[in-house]
Structure 1
Amino acid sequence: MRFTQQEIDLIRAQSSRMEQEGEITPEALQYIYDKKLFHLFVADDLAGNMTSLPEAIRIFQECARIDGSFGWLVTIGAGGGYFVPFMTEEIGRKVFTDPHAVIAGSGAVTGTARKVEGGYRVSGRWKYCSGSTHATTFTANTVLEQADSADSGAERQLVTIIMEPGQVEIIKDWNTFGLKATASHSMVATEAFIPEEMTFSFDELRSHQDELLYRYPFLPFAQTSFAGVAMGLADRFLELAEQHLRERGKEQVLAALEDRKQEFARQKEAFYLVLDKSWEEVGLKGKLSPEMEQRISFECVTAARTSLGCGLRLFPQLGLAACMEDTDVNRTWRDLQTACQHALLRE
């Protein structure tokens, strides 16, 4: 997928407004719907836009290069498609076939589920639910309450739930200094009834088992996705920093910038080399070897560290003008720092 310069300009024209309002604009969101960017990992028979992982990561990088919050929302929204095979075909159609369908949720186990007739009663609060203000479905992890609470030695049983927007309350508490337009707020459920069929387990495949994407392990899947965002933000930061320095005639700093660009280019090449090889391995063997999982994880963390390093080394050289929050270079720098704080991108 390629973005025309006109498309890039149209999305970037929304950046300031998105940051001020704390969520994506309807215009930018409609672009995502039109291009089916939220459905990059949804099987085609569910009105999806199934895309290979290497191609999708390159799309995430480009989206983040256009705008940090835009790229993050595309990445998180598309990532919900990974849940398709753990749902029955009926529930998959219910969740994904709408053109506006997108999941927001949390991997944290900060809710409880109580077994009742036909399903569960669920309560909890989950943080960092990116895309919360436009999501059509919410997913979360809960701990099943044990009938015998005295048995403290019993192993926790997790229940992953699927909720509709009317079952959750969005608490607008996303107050970070970067990725402001991602609406990564908390969600709260109070005694919500979740039918048995609206739950799933990552240990049980229920549909679409032949799709190659769903054979790729979740951890490297998530790490590569976030690394793509980090690299896209670094791409954009380097572009803006160079423009900033040239306008001010800082030739000496431009030499340092060129070193960072070359280092970053080498790391991107190494990252995509391993990513492409890992995808080939899944295609040939149906799974990733432990060694390949370690390699791809290492490259993701290294890519994020190198991306963040571009900013850490160059931002102090840009002068006071770059400290103005309403400048593109400042917003991109803040977005880059925020994205690289994700736990999966840190050693």
Structure 2
Amino acid sequence: MTNLSPLAPRDATRIACHAAAADRDGWLHPVQQALIHRRGWLRMLAPRAVGGEERPLPDVVRLEEAIARVDGSTGWTVTLCAGAGWFAGFLPPHLARAILATPRACLAGSGAPTGHADREGDGWRIDGEWDYASGAPMATHFTFNAYLRENGQPLFDADGQPRMLAFVVPKAIVEIVPRWRCVGLVATASHAYRVRGAWVHADHGFVIDPAAARAQGPLYRFPFLPFAFVTLAANVAGMAAHFVDLAAACIARRRNRFGQNEPLIEVPAVRAALDGARDRLDDVRGRFYALLDACWADVAAGGSVADAQAAQMQALAQEWVAAARHAVDTLYPYCGLVAASRDSDINRVWRDFHTASQHALLMPQG
């Protein structure tokens, strides 16, 4: 990772010094939360016309990677909540503007269609429960997918598949279900949430597709799946890079008890494993950003992301995650019991990495 980090050193320090406490407490520290809002990170993908910052996607992805390299829970929460803020580009402008005008606006949510929306008048009656809303405690609005029904019967699209629609709703009609108990990303507080029989106007339903975008900027012509892959992969890779840095420090302090009692870092196989992990991560990272920058340039110039480009971006994102898994799993055995101690920084990063990399989109292919 280049030394020209998009994350200011002072901000990195503020995030890092509260990471252990946030992990113990199960939610981001107030200093971390305040920094997130002060820097506008949750608005950075929303349209300028409705109160967002509409930053270029490659800049956002590099920033998210940099935050995740400092603290996985902060990086993941920023990425998932800023990503939900991107949906403002697909909402009616009056609704998007009202949402972003909310003090300390934050959107959290889930992509799983584990609820139903029944047509009622000029809106929908919502009922369902959804898992994994990262940042749930500070969310002012929640997003989710729901299957559509009318008069109790499912609605179908032109291909005969059940119709599904994305929704955004205010926190007032949502009940948080606190059951986030994963070993890592503890401070994301990615709790479940439910809506029980609440009515919302039809404006609260939206379609995530460039053809349905309400905002006209290039961000909203970028397809959802490539968008999701690049933001999630950058987070996982940032956590892996952090682990490699901490592993190198652990290895430098240890000695090879089964050889000549020399420093472990001087054992050729260990040095090769460390250098190889770094080289592979750097190689994939360079190719990943070269492609992302090229795709973004095409979209910013008025074009679109071709299917072949989208497939290549997905493949590179998965290759970066695979390199990250290889790096972490290869170096962990050399780090000693400190890496297994729940109170150590390296263990927290290890737990965060292995939780984030379980995301369904990042499942190993083949």
Find the counterpart in structure 1 of residue 51 from structure 2.
Answer: 47
Find the counterpart in structure 2 of residue 159 from structure 1.
Answer: 165
Find the counterpart in structure 1 of residue 215 from structure 2.
Answer: 208
Find the counterpart in structure 2 of residue 315 from structure 1.
Answer: 332
Count of matched residue pairs: 346
Letter in 1 for 2:176: I
Measured in 2, the distance between the counterparts of 1:150 and 1:101 equals 33
SS at match of 1:107: coil
TM-score by length of 2: 0.90
Structure 2 residue aligned with 1:277, among 283, 294, 305? Answer: 294
1:148 deviation in Å?
A: 6.7
Find the counterpart in structure 2 of residue 8 from structure 1.
Answer: 12
Quickly say closer, same or farther: Cα 1:244–1:167, change in 2 above 3 A.
same
CA deviation string 1:200-227 (max 9, x = no partner): 2235636222x01110100000100001
Find the counterpart in structure 1 of residue 264 from structure 2.
Answer: 250
CA deviation string 1:109-142 (max 9, x = no partner): 1101111123111110101111111001101111
Gaps of 5+ in 2: 255-262
Tell whether 2:228 aligns with 1:230. no
Equivalent runs, 1:85-164 vs 2, <5 Å = 85-98=89-102, 100-147=104-151, 149=153, 155-164=161-170
Find the counterpart in structure 2 of residue 339 from structure 1.
Answer: 356
Q: Is the 8 A contact 1:119 1:194 kept in 2?
A: yes
Tell whether 2:201 aligns with 1:195. yes
Q: Is the 8 A contact 1:85 1:207 kept in 2?
A: yes
Measured in 2, the distance between the counterparts of 1:73 and 1:326 equals 21
CA deviation string 1:229-262 (max 9, x = no partner): 0111111111101111112231222342112111
TM-score by length of 1: 0.95
1:97 deviation in Å?
A: 2.9
SS at match of 2:114: strand
SS at match of 1:161: strand
Find the counterpart in structure 2 of residue 185 from structure 1.
Answer: 191
Measured in 2, the distance between the counterparts of 1:244 and 1:50 equals 40
Q: Is the 8 A contact 1:237 1:311 kept in 2?
A: yes
Quickly say closer, same or farther: Cα 1:196–1:8, change in 2 above 3 A.
same
Q: Is the 8 A contact 1:33 1:99 kept in 2?
A: no
Letter in 1 for 2:331: L
Gaps of 5+ in 1: none
Letter in 2 for 1:41: L
Measured in 2, the distance between the counterparts of 1:315 and 1:99 equals 43
Measured in 1, the distance between the counterparts of 2:348 and 2:13 equals 16
Measured in 2, the distance between the counterparts of 1:241 and 1:223 equals 26
Identical positions, percent: 31
Q: Is the 8 A contact 1:275 1:296 kept in 2?
A: yes
Tell whether 2:283 aligns with 1:266. yes
Find the counterpart in structure 1 of residue 259 from structure 2.
Answer: none
Find the counterpart in structure 2 of residue 293 from structure 1.
Answer: 310
Measured in 2, the distance between the counterparts of 1:150 and 1:193 equals 18
Letter in 2 for 1:341: Q
Q: What is the RMSD of the two structures over their aligned residues, measured on CA atoms? A: 1.9
Q: Is the 8 A contact 2:109 2:142 kept in 1?
A: yes
Q: Is the 8 A contact 1:237 1:332 kept in 2?
A: yes
